[in-house]
Structure 1
Amino acid sequence: MKTSRSLISALVAGALVLSSSAFAQAVHYPGGKATFDGKCAVCHQAGGKGMDGLAPPLVEYPGKYASSSDGRAQLGHTVLYGMFGPIKVKDKSYNFKMPSFAALSDEEIADVLNYVVFDLNAQHGAAKPFDAAEVKAWRAGPIDASAVHQRRDAVVKGLGL
């Protein structure tokens, strides 16, 4: 009887561990994940963990950006037009040249932003999902990678990051 209870307890504990890890890995934007894995993970690494000195992790700050219109535009412009130059994220320095992904469709860009903000970031506040119309509006006022970098400082300061 005691062995039965121990076995049942072990099975229940194992099931809880498996179900919680499966839940934590749920992907709500599979198209965005596919784009991320094919285009972004080479620098930002699988799961958006980042690469020291080169590309920042994407598992925290994008969720904070997505709650403000300036932050959302910064995320969109970064994907659309790229960005280069030194930046700091949580007191770590990165110096990279992110290429433009303007060749992606508006829907693909919205999907990858949604994957980063909602699947990779546990905290995204009151952020709403990105859509193709929002991306199309960002395309209407093209800027270059240098301007994206310059605007980032104001966004970071405005968000208190």
Structure 2
Amino acid sequence: MKQLVSWALWGLLALATAQTGAGLYQQNCAFCHGDKGQGRPGAFPPLAGHAPDFLQIPTGRAQLINTLLYGMQGEITAKGQKYNGVMPAFAQLPDEQLAGVLNYILNAWSNDKALPSEFKPITAGEIAAARSTRLTPQQVGAARAKLNLP
């Protein structure tokens, strides 16, 4: 009985951890973007040292949300390197979880030091509002390719 309770508690802890932005990142994003957001050269761009760049431009916040919701396909440039991987959509996750992942990415790996002083965390309400847009991964990729990011 003691072992059963111990396994049940471990399962609840694992579930709770998976529901955090960090846990969801590890489950869904780390394989491609790396445990520390370093990316995979030529395939998947870094998030460390790059994600806050989106918040320096007017459409950047929406681009981050749309990329997570709808996925992305097409060639982009990030930090001077070209990437042409495919990112899957994560619209199956609840709005709160998507906001948690984005806020984790924006604050992890010293990204928080590059956030604009007026930064406010991304909210579940913003994610919910973006769901009505209905974009394809190609449209998200084309919009990303047009952004003037470093």
Q: Does residue 94 of structure 1 match 2:83?
A: yes
When the two chains are superposed, the root-mean-square deviation of aligned CA atoms in Å is 1.5
Structure 1 residue aligned with 2:108: 119
Q: Which secondary structure state, in structure 2, belongs to the residue aligned with residue 93 of structure 1?
A: strand
Q: Tell me the TM-score normalized by structure 2.
A: 0.80
1:122-155, Cα deviation, whole Å (9 max, x unpaired)? 311132100100000100111110110111133x
Larger radius of gyration: 1
Structure 2 residue aligned with 1:4: none
- Report the identity percentage: 36
Structure 2 residue aligned with 1:105: 94
1-side partners of 2:21 and 2:60: how far apart?
A: 19
Structure 1 residue aligned with 2:132: 140
Quote the offset at 1:94 in angstroms: 1.2
Structure 2 residue aligned with 1:152: 144
Does the 8 Å contact 1:66/1:128 carry over to 2? no
Does the 8 Å contact 2:77/2:145 carry over to 1? no
Q: Tell me the TM-score normalized by structure 1.
A: 0.75
Distance 1:108 1:67, change over 3 A: farther
Structure 2 residue aligned with 1:37: 26
Does the 8 Å contact 1:87/1:94 carry over to 2? yes
Q: Does residue 51 of structure 1 match 2:43?
A: no
Question: How many residues are paired up?
Answer: 129
1-side partners of 2:56 and 2:92: how far apart?
A: 26
1-side partners of 2:47 and 2:86: how far apart?
A: 16
Does the 8 Å contact 1:81/1:148 carry over to 2? yes
Letter in structure 1 aligned against 2:126: E
Does the 8 Å contact 2:50/2:79 carry over to 1? no
Quote the offset at 1:119 in angstroms: 2.0
Quote the offset at 1:67 in angstroms: 4.4
Q: Does residue 130 of structure 1 match 2:122?
A: yes
Larger helix fraction of residues:
1
Quote the offset at 1:64 in angstroms: 2.0
Post-superposition, which runs of at least 4 consecutive aligned residues in structure 1 deviate over 6 A? none
